Every structure is written in structure tokens, then in C-alpha cells.
A and B are shown apart, each in its own frame.
Chain A
Amino acid sequence: MPRAVASRPLHFIWLVDASGSMRDDGKIQAVNNSIRDTIPLMRQVADDNPNARVLVRAVAFSSGARWHLEKPTPLDDFSWQDVSAGGLTDLGKALRLVASQLAIPPMEERALPPVLVLLSDGQPTDDYKGGLEALLEEPWGRSSVRIGIAIGRDVDLEVLQEFIGDPTIRPLQANNPEALVRSIRWASTAVLKAVSQPSRGRLRSEETSVTVPLPTPVTVSPSGPSSEAVW
């Protein structure tokens, strides 16, 4: 019988605010811990979704933006290295960085909608609108599902809402560490689940045999009287 698994890639990108203010109240450490804790849950969701091949990346932005995890990484190989904080909040640069990688290529022609999760505790210090435009110019940027998590009370929710785009999805407000854990858990599980759906199968090249313990085939014996036929 066939084996399965043909899937589309699902790119999942964390955009983590690493500005100086993230050092206050242990916010950056809470983000690091929460993302790390959520990995097993993401794996579980991915496990339940046969048609998605989840690939994770992460961008950290402060004064400028850089790939914190550049290579699209399968969940099985994904581990989280701590992001450290210090500097400004250059969200626009982060969005441009992501936009450049959502172009085709390097993006695949056919995929599931990418998921972008933005975590921020403040207001952008650069031209975030330009960055957002660059992102939305890419077809994969436009079709991405974007989630915004506001850490603490100083966040400009308008900016997050602009990033999200879809008015039916509101920014999540994480005003304490528990709420942050849950927001991150939700973004990485429920959203992941909503984007990936059942599936295409794939026949493995080598056939696997069915292992029914089976002796020689049943054969018909020559007919005889019933007295000899019952044992």
C-alpha cells in the first residue's frame, strides 16, 4: 500500500523586536523562553497537518535588522537561540529584509500562505510604512497571514494593525508574562493550524509490502466423503 506525504511548504517567520526597551522587565528573556517552550507544540500541530511542511525563520530588529535564523528550518531541526536586546526599533528594515526573501525565487512558486508573527514593545523608529509597502509588493507578502503581538502597554497598536492588514484579526496584547506565553503559543499553534489543511499524499518510490503473516495460499483438497472431511 502507498506511503503518503506530498506537502506544500509553510514558511513561518518570527519578527522579534530587540530594541533596548525589550531589556526592561525581562521582556526579551520572556520572549526567548516563550518561543523556546512553544517548539514542541508547534511540532505537534505540524504533525497533525499532513499537507504542510513547516519551515521556520526569525528576524531580529533593533538598530537595523538581521536574520536571527536565516535558513528556512524544518521544525524537527529548529531550536531557539536567545535574541539579545539593545538599540532602536527599526521595524521597516525588518519588513524589507523579509520582503526580499519572500520574492520568487528564493520562495517556491507553489506553497501555503506564509505566516509572519511580529512581536514588539514599542513604536517603530524608521520608515516602517516603506517596509510594509515593500512587503506587500511581493505576492507572497500579500498572501501571508500576519499576526502582531504587543508586549506591554507602550505599543502603537495602530502600527500592529497596519501590519496585520486584516481588520478581523486584532493585535494580541500581552501585558504580563503569562499573557505573552499564551499569545506566542496561540500564534505558533492555532494560526499554524488554520493555515495548513489536509492534504496531498505521495507514493514512496519503493513499495512496501504488507506484512500479513501468511503461510502458503489456501488450496482446495480433492473431494471425499463427509466422514473424512471433518476433523
Chain B
Amino acid sequence: MSPPPRPAFNSLGSGDRLISSTSGSPCVVREFIGAGGQGEVYSASLDGEEVAVKWYYPNWCTPSQRRSLEVLISKGTPSERFLWPSDLVSQPGSPSFGYLMPLRQKRFRGMTDLLKGRIDPTFRARATAGLQLAHSFLQLHAHGLCYRDISAGNVFLDPTTGDIAICDNDNVGVDAEGIGGVMGTPDFMAPELVRGQSLPNTQSDLFSLSVLLFYLFHVHHPLYGKRLLQIRSLDLKARIKLCGEEPVFIFDESNTVNEALPWEKDPTGEAGANAFDLWKIYPEFLREKFTKAFTVGLKDPKNGRVRETEWRMVMSQLRDDITYCPNRHENFVDRSARLWGTPPTEGAGELPPTDPCWVCSATVSRPPRLRLGKTWVILNADTQLFPHHIDPTRLYDYSQPVASIVQHPQDPSRWGIKNLSNRAWSTTAPDGSQASVEPGRSVSITLGRRIRFGTVEGAIAA
């Protein structure tokens, strides 16, 4: 165990007044929210607005901590997904300090709740969370910053939508600029950091991102396989070995010393039974990325790691590859499966049968797709299209849907795509006849029909 911090002999009390550095506004402490490794977090009100205050333990109230906070505050938040420090606060007569940040909304739940099985977001919500995580890391890195202490404890998500919020950003630092500070939780640190051979940088963050994503989809750590069963006391030393000195991916086909075991072989699940069950239900393109991240990526920080942009693409494809079995379980239509070959030409060729449902073994009927250039979107009753799909200048824009799937009001057996945008589409049938689809109108989902959304044309295929 690393030396624990000194206790907080100066914790705040409800009603305490703090002074914020730049605005000079008084900030009144409300309630204690929780204690962390470096300080305590309270809710507070600042000019009538609810905010959160992180108040450091005395041993963390150092000039260097203050300076790095000042850097973060002046840089400003990379995006609204970060609960970013907005101002320093102090208490008259006390050498201690803290900082203000937005209060996390109630709709967010911890990634730890997901790991404890208290929330069970859909695959679509998980992929959305993954997409937002990758995007947030990209924005952070674009600001010349990197994480020193990212873990499941910092990531929060709205279980319904998959929206994320990233907490505890005070350990963000300037890329590759080492100061003593926190190094992170071995479970989420790149091996070269665990071994103490490198300082946190963008490459090490890419590793942490992969671990977070692996957890999100497999509810298990990618390096915790059957070797766990030999470890009595899972202390820091053991974690350093598993995550730093001798890391081996639990699905490394060329080295099975640490392979994931199924429930029959390890009823405790410590050796990765969760991951064992889930690994095979995802599309090949997801497995490929994880395999890269945790094989070559373990050893080659520069070239071996999966980049945020790659993850972003993978996550958005995952969202578009979900379909449902008759019992409403989500299943993936694997666009990378060899059977499917290259996407069939529009209207021609049928997709091969899908696998039985991974949960209930029911037959999963072959869903229609909307082909968009080289990619596609599976059309389910709850599918929505976003600017991401139909406007190449707005990739990864999922802010407002531009289309949804609807049933014909008079004939529910007829399905259509409804135009939720504010511009008309045009549509062409296989017989060449054309029509305009004004905002608010819908167009039938029929084989071979083409729909032009501005610059992008889609075609409906089986």
C-alpha cells in the first residue's frame, strides 16, 4: 500500500463560507458528499447555484497542486462531459484550499455501479458511453493534457442513454510533464507506468481507455485471468505483477497462461468467466481492437495502442449493428463476419442467417438495413438516424435525431423512416419513380428503395 494521506483535520462543516479566488464570490458549504484519496467533496452554493467543492487534505495543499489546478482552471474544460475545476476556493484563516466544479447530475451512476451489477445499461447505451469516452479522451489530448489517475471510479454514466460524466479531473496534467502526484490505480495504468518506466502521457491514456472499454463490455479486467487463482493476497504487489511486470491478455491466443476460465472451471468468476461469456457475442471488429490493445499494445506504447478515433468508429459501428431477438434481447449483427463478405450490392443478395440469440437461443430474424456508402445501419423499431449518419461534415454528432422508424398509422405492418430533420429528402423506387419526403413525412421501408439525404444517399437492403 502506498503511504496513505494524513487525515483531514480541517474538514468543512455545513454553512462554512469559502471564498472563490477569481470571482471573490462567497461560496457556502452544504453537505458532505464523499471522501477520496486526496480530499473530501461537498455540495455548496455559489451565487445561488449548486456546485461541488473538493477540499484537499492538508498534505495535498501544496504549492504544486495549486499551480496545476491553476493551469487546469485557466485552460478550461475540454468538453461539457468533464466536471472540470472552475475556480480555486479558500477559507479565511486556513492554509487549506480546494476547487469548485459542476455538481454531478442525479441521472449519472458510477461505472462502479455497473461493475456491481446495480445498473444494466443496454448494449446501445454502453456503446454510446464508449463513444463519448473515446471522444472525451480525444478532446482532452487535443488540449495538450493527459490523465494521471483515470479509473472506473471517475467515470459516470446515465444508464438509459449512455451519456457520460468524467469526475475527479484534478489529476489531469500536462502531457508527459512529470510531477510526483498520483500515478493511478494499477488496474487502469499502462504497464510501462506500473513499472515506473514512463510518465503519464497520451499513449498511457490510450491504454487506460482500452481498459475502461473492456470493463464496460465484459465486466471484467482484461489482464485478470486464471493467474488470479494462484494469488492469495491481492495487494499492490500482486497487481503490479499482473498489470505491469508480466501482463498477459486473458484472450491472448498465443499465450494461454492467463486465459479466461468459464464458470464451470472457476465458480468465483475471478478468472474472467464474465468475459468468457461475453467475448464471443461481440462482432469480430471489436474483438480485434481489444486484442490489439492488450497484446501488441501492452509492449508497444507508441504504435501498438488503439487510438481514440479508432474506438470512436468501433463504438459507432457497434451502435448501428444491434438488433433484437423475439424476446427483445439485444444481439449483434456482425458486419465483419466472413459470411457476410463485402456488403452486398443494394437490393441484391441476401444476408446470411444470423446466430441464435446469445441469451435465449431464439432465432434472430434478419433485420433490414440502410446502406450508407461503405457502412450501414440496422433498422430496428427503435433505430434513430443522426447527423453522424447522413452528413459527412458532422461525424459523431448524435445531438438530435434526424430520422426515426415508424409504423404506418393505418397499417402497422408497413414500416417507414420518418423525416425528423428540417429539410426534405428525395426517394427513388427500384422502378425509377421519385418522390420528396418533406419534414414530418415518412417513407416506406421497401427493398432497393433509395433515399437521398443531402449529400449522402442511403439504400434499403435486406
Per DSSP, chain B at the interface is loop
Considering the complex, give the chain B residue whose CB is closest to the CB of A50: B115
Interface residues of A in 1-38 (CB under 8 A from B): 1-6, 8
CB distance from A230 to the nearest CB of B (A): 5
Complexed CA–CA distance, A211 and B329 (Å):
8
Q: Which of A51, A186, A224 contacts B8 (CB 8 A)?
A: A186
Q: Which of A203, A221, A224 contacts B413 (CB 8 A)?
A: A221
Cross-chain contact B219 with A2 (CB below 8 angstroms)? yes
Q: Which of B188, B273, B414, B427 contacts A203 (CB 8 A)?
A: B273
Considering the complex, give the chain B residue whose CB is closest to the CB of A172: B7
CB distance from B97 to the nearest CB of A (A): 18
* Chain A residues closer than 8 Å to B365, beta-carbon distance: 217
Complexed CA–CA distance, A182 and B57 (Å):
11
Q: Tell me how many residues of A have a C-beta within 8 Å of chain B.
A: 75
User: Could you count the A-B residue pairs with CB atoms below 8 Å apart for me: how many are there?
Assistant: 271
Cross-chain contact B449 with A207 (CB below 8 angstroms)? no
B359 at the interface (CB under 8 A from A): yes
Cross-chain contact A209 with B435 (CB below 8 angstroms)? no
Known: A110-B231, A199-B115. A223 touches B449 (CB 8 A): yes
Cross-chain contact B277 with A48 (CB below 8 angstroms)? no
Q: Tell me how many residues of B have a C-beta within 8 Å of chain A.
A: 103
A112 at the interface (CB under 8 A from B): yes
* Chain B residues closer than 8 Å to A112, beta-carbon distance: 233-235
Complexed CA–CA distance, A217 and B460 (Å):
16
CB distance from A150 to the nearest CB of B (A): 12
Complexed CA–CA distance, A109 and B328 (Å):
41
Q: Which of A49, A200, A210, A224 contacts B122 (CB 8 A)?
A: A210
Interface residues of B in 418-435 (CB under 8 A from A): 427-431, 433-435
Interface string of A209-228 (1 = CB under 8 A from B): 11111111111111111111
Cross-chain contact B329 with A6 (CB below 8 angstroms)? no
Cross-chain contact B116 with A50 (CB below 8 angstroms)? yes
Complexed CA–CA distance, A223 and B449 (Å):
8
A45 at the interface (CB under 8 A from B): yes
Cross-chain contact A223 with B359 (CB below 8 angstroms)? no
Considering the complex, give the chain B residue whose CB is closest to the CB of A109: B232
Cross-chain contact B115 with A201 (CB below 8 angstroms)? yes
* Chain B residues closer than 8 Å to A4, beta-carbon distance: 114-117, 219, 274
Complexed CA–CA distance, A139 and B327 (Å):
51
CB distance from B233 to the nearest CB of A (A): 4
CB distance from A152 to the nearest CB of B (A): 16
Complexed CA–CA distance, A226 and B427 (Å):
7
B269 at the interface (CB under 8 A from A): yes
* Chain B residues closer than 8 Å to A143, beta-carbon distance: 232-233, 235
Complexed CA–CA distance, A221 and B414 (Å):
6
Cross-chain contact A113 with B5 (CB below 8 angstroms)? no
Cross-chain contact B9 with A182 (CB below 8 angstroms)? yes
Considering the complex, give the chain A residue whose CB is closest to the CB of B278: A2
* Chain A residues closer than 8 Å to B110, beta-carbon distance: 48
CB distance from A227 to the nearest CB of B (A): 6
Cross-chain contact B328 with A210 (CB below 8 angstroms)? yes
Cross-chain contact B274 with A224 (CB below 8 angstroms)? no
CB distance from A22 to the nearest CB of B (A): 20
* Chain B residues closer than 8 Å to A204, beta-carbon distance: 117
Cross-chain contact B120 with A212 (CB below 8 angstroms)? no
B14 at the interface (CB under 8 A from A): no
A134 at the interface (CB under 8 A from B): no
Interface string of A113-130 (1 = CB under 8 A from B): 100000000000000000
* Chain B residues closer than 8 Å to A201, beta-carbon distance: 115, 117, 215, 218-220, 269, 274-275
Considering the complex, give the chain B residue whose CB is closest to the CB of A142: B233
Interface residues of B in 254-270 (CB under 8 A from A): 263, 268-270
* Chain B residues closer than 8 Å to A44, beta-carbon distance: 34
* Chain A residues closer than 8 Å to B272, beta-carbon distance: 200
Known: A202-B117, A218-B405. A229 touches B277 (CB 8 A): no
B112 at the interface (CB under 8 A from A): yes
Which of B22-30, B44-52, B334-342, B437-445 lines the interface with chain A? B437-445
- In the complex, besides A6-B270, A210-B329, A219-B368, 7 extra interface pairs with C-beta distance below 8 angstroms are A47-B116, A110-B231, A212-B330, A213-B382, A221-B414, A223-B448, A226-B427
